[in-house]
Amino acid sequence: MKRILVLTADAGFGHRRAAEAVAAALQETHGEECVAEIVNPMQDKRVPIFLRNSQSDYDRIVREMPDLYKLGYEASDAKAPSLIAEGALIVMLFEAMLDTVQRFQPDAIVTTYSLYQAPLGAVFSLRRSYIPLLTVVTDLATVHRLWFHVGADGCLVPTVTVRDLAIECGLAASKVHITGIPVHPDVVRETRAPLDIRAELGLEPNRTTVLAVGGKRVGRLPEALHVLNHSGLPLQLIVIAGGDDDRFQQYQNTQWHVPARVFNFVDNVPALMHAADCVVCKAGGLIVTESLACGLPLLLVDVLPGQEEGNADLVVRGGAGALAPGPIEVLEEMYHWLDKGGMLLAERAHNARALGQPRAAYDVAERAWQAAVRGPYTRPRRRLLSRSRLRALLRHFDIPWVD
């Protein structure tokens, strides 16, 4: 029985959703031959508290200080700062990563988070044993160079743009593979007609259905919903608050003038997507990817400075959606999409299907399985990180290590 460790983090929903998609695809395709474990090393109490809290602080920072977030993102996205960051990450995450590897004894590792590769490389080097490591990049175009670590055996990227960026950052072309971002296999498994799902939800079967997704991080979503609710357009709404209790209560207290179903946290997003004709959301990597995999046009009302700008650009340039930063733009775009019998909406849906990669999780799962079959290995000494430098670094910060 092979053991595959899937590492993730909870800075936003995307990293974990990608990890869950890979684990589900592995269970479906190789469940009798392997066990896939999802672990978040950032939860380890030995990880400095500011780094652990960065997961929960992520929402607040990107919502309240987007310019500061963008400045930090861009300042660190260069070779020298990223090398400094990797050294710091080794110090801060080494113990948690070593314990995780020793506890799970994996035959292969998949990471959907960018901060784990350097600490894993240090663990492998000091143990003189390498575990096949695959990195799954979860943004579509604008990607921080920390994702591209030479110690990984494979870098699985969503687009040609990211592949070229990975190679520019020093990865061998043979290590970089375009797979798409993994979306849950339920996206492929869901075969019911939209009319049937709408009927199950108590919605009108033939009315244009808009899926709106987002909690506090999607700050402009309430005003977008307000204008759609009062637009007089022949549409209906499925609204997901994403586990945000305050936003859920706000939506529940809304006087809806169009048919609407409101949810807080859901575990059937693929079904709700298959019930919809389009999505109103922010430009997050996973929501964009899932929407494209379902062939859904995107109306993007929020774009996080940094990585999400590339996601939005891909959607707009691909003709699969539009930016609508204000309520007037939301109304204009929706009117144009529905005009002339929904001709433009159908065109956007066609383009979304062309960009979508609904089977990405299966591709990643198969590569992970093949890596697990190969299993741990040794590397030539010249390719090992300097063990003496690593030992000195760990000693300097009083991090225990025994050969």
Residue 4's pLDDT band, with cuts at 50, 70 and 90, is very high
Highest mean pLDDT among 201-205, 235-239, 262-266: 235-239
pLDDT for 302 beyond 80:
yes
**Average pLDDT score over residue span 326-345:** 95
Query: Would you state the structure tokens that stand for residue 43, as one six-digit string?
Result: 């939860």
When comparing pLDDT for 219 and 369, which is higher? 369
Residue 315: the pLDDT is 95
Mean pLDDT of the chain: 85
- Kindly list the distances between the CA atom of residue 63 and the CA atoms of 10, 87, 152, 211, 361, in Å, as whole numbers in the listed order: 16, 29, 32, 22, 30
Which residues make beta-bridge pairs with 213? 240
Q: What is the per-residue pLDDT for 326?
A: 92
Amino acid at 235: L
Q: Which domains does the chain have, with CATH numbers?
A: 2-183+358-396 (3.40.50.2000), 192-355 (3.40.50.2000)
CA pair distance 169, 162, nearest whole angstrom: 10
**Of 96, 68, 146, nearest in space to 305 by CA:** 68
- Treating both helix axes as pointing N-terminal to C-terminal, what angle do 360-374 and 14-30 enclose, rounded to 10 degrees? 70
Lowest mean pLDDT among 168-172, 189-193, 394-398: 394-398
154 and 122 Cβ atoms separated by less than 8 Å: no
The radius of gyration of the chain's CA atoms, rounded to the nearest angstrom, is 22
The mean pLDDT value for 126-136 works out to 91
Q: What tokens does 319 get?
A: 């003709």
**CB-CB contact of 84 with 118 (8 Å):** no
Please, are residues 126 and 391 in contact by the beta-carbon 8 Å criterion?
yes
The predicted pLDDT at position 86 comes to: 74
Q: By three-state DSSP, how is residue 381 classified?
A: helix
pLDDT in tens, 274-290: 999 999 998 988 889 99
Specify the residue for token string 């160079």. 145
Q: Residue 377 has what DSSP assignment?
A: B
- pLDDT score of 153 more than 60: yes
Helix (H) or strand (E) holding 177: strand 176-178
Q: How many angstroms separate the CA atoms of 140 and 2, rounded?
A: 30
374, pLDDT greater than 60: yes
Query: Does the pLDDT of residue 179 top 50, yes or no?
Result: yes
The 3 state secondary structure assigned to 118-164 is HHHHHHHHHHCCECCEEEECCCCCCCCHHHCCCCCCEEEECCHHHHH
Q: Residue 390: how many CB atoms within 10 A of its CB?
A: 19
- C-alpha span between 67 and 254 (Å, rounded): 31
- Cβ neighbours around 293 below 10 Å, total: 26
Which letter does DSSP use for residue 113 in this model? S
Nearest to 402 by CA among 170, 126, 218: 126
pTM above 0.95, yes or no: no
Choose the weakest-confidence range: 47-61, 267-281, 324-338: 47-61
What whole-number distance in Å separates Cα of residue 66 and Cα of residue 365?
35
* Beta strand residue intervals within 73-129, DSSP E: 108-111
Q: What is the pLDDT of residue 392?
A: 61
**Number of residues in the chain:** 403
Structure tokens at 215: 């909690």
Q: pLDDT over 70 for what percent of the chain?
A: 84
- For residue 27, give the amino acid letter: Q
When pLDDT is cut at 50, 70 and 90, the band that residue 66 belongs to is: low
At residue 401, the pLDDT reads 57
Report d(CA 333, CA 327) in Å as an integer: 10
d(CA 222, CA 74): 29
Q: CA 219, CA 221: separation in Å to the nearest integer?
A: 6
Cβ neighbourhood burial of 51 (10 Å; 0-12, 13-18, 19+): middle
